[in-house]
Amino acid sequence: MIRPESIPHWPKGVQLREKDITDHSLKAKHEITEISGELLRHVDGKRSIQTIVSECATKHGWPEEHVLSDFLELISNLNHHYLINIQTPFHWTTFFKDRLIALFVLLRTLQGPKWETKERKTASHQSQWASLWQMIRVVTMVYGAYAIGIAFVTGILSFLLPVGGLHIPLLTAGSFLTGMIVHEYLHVWTFQKMTSRQFEVIIAIRRKAVQIVRPRADRKTEFWTSLSGPGIPVLTAFILIPLLFIVPAGELQFAIGCMAATQIVHLLSLMPFAEDGKRIIESIKPTPLPIERKKSV
């Protein structure tokens, strides 16, 4: 949640200009009002929202309380569109409040963008290893809670059946996280490889989800970039599933079954309703892609 003590900062590739916020990575411009511009010019990654409002209110004689609520809304909207990042200083009270809010958001008791803080990172251009390490950190941070839940459920199941000990839940959780890392990393890697690293790729992080945002490319790049992410985990599942019928019933079979289950879920990404599935269909359909339509105009 964005609070008065939160510190806003501009992500890489986003620049505040005289009358707009320019997103260089996605080649987009977002117009802003004069007052918003005046407040946003104080965003430097050091000053908190409260400090910025106090400084501007004193300077221009604005009512501080009114400006604070408006500025919080503005920052919340910009963050919702991945145009500004937020950093909140750690405090135990804030930590527990945020966990409670996360529970209420999960339960849909609280709804709306103000309860969620999004983050935007630019995929590393340094090397493939730096990019992979960045993806491992991001995916573990976002899907770590799911992995713990999966380990818990698998642990109970392995006790109930009973097939093996603690290593099966750990193996299943590890398989789930590896699948997610491979999925997201391969989207980035394929796109960078096929476009010779000409464009920047953005990692959009929101509560319990990671999305790779990239500019539209030609059909071949679109097809392989969209397919490569879920493709490898699904292929792994298709290799593991026949093994279930070969290995003898017991611990190994259960472990293989759990790992196959964590990989086969990526098949959902290839369905026409999912983002990857939609892009694959767009890339093989005879109708022009959005990028091609723009060119023809």
Partner 1 sequence: MIKSFLVGSLLLFISTVVILLGLGVYSDIQDFSSYNWSFFGITVFRYESLQPDGHLLNFGVGIIAIALIGGATNAGLRSLFTRMESRT
Give me the residues that bind partner 1 (CB under 8 A), please: 104, 106-111, 152-153, 156, 159-160
What's the closest the beta carbon of residue 14 comes to partner 1, in angstroms? 30
**Shortest gap between Cβ of 52 and partner 1 (angstroms)?**
22
Minimum Å gap between C-beta 247 and partner 1 is 25
Min CB(169)–partner 1 separation in Å:
13
Q: Which is nearer to partner 1, 160 or 297 (CB)?
A: 160
How far, in Å, CA of 255 to CA of 27, rounded?
Answer: 46
- Quote the least distance from Cβ 69 to partner 1, whole Å: 9
Question: DSSP letters of 224-254?
Answer: HHHHHHHHHHHHHHHHHHHHHHHSPTTHHHH
Nearer to partner 1, 33 or 109 (CB): 109
Q: Give dist(CA 255, CA 150) in Å, integer.
A: 13
Min dist CB 111 to partner 1, Å, is 8
Task: Specify the residue, 13 or 164, whose C-beta has the smaller distance to partner 1.
Answer: 164
Three-point CA angle 96, 100, 101, nearest 5°? 115
| Nearer CB in complex with partner 1: 104/238 | 104
10 Å Cβ neighbour count for 49?
23
* Preceding amide of 290 cis, omega within 30: no
Main-chain dihedrals φ then ψ at residue 194, nearest 5 degrees: -80, -20
Torsions phi, psi for 284 (to 5 deg): -105, -10
Give the Cα separation of 55 and 130 in Å (integer). Answer: 39
CA gap 15, 23 in Å, rounded: 7
Q: Which is nearer to partner 1, 209 or 291 (CB)?
A: 209
For residues 17 and 81, what is the distance between their CA atoms, to the nearest angstrom?
17
Residue 156 or 166: which CB sits closer to partner 1? 156
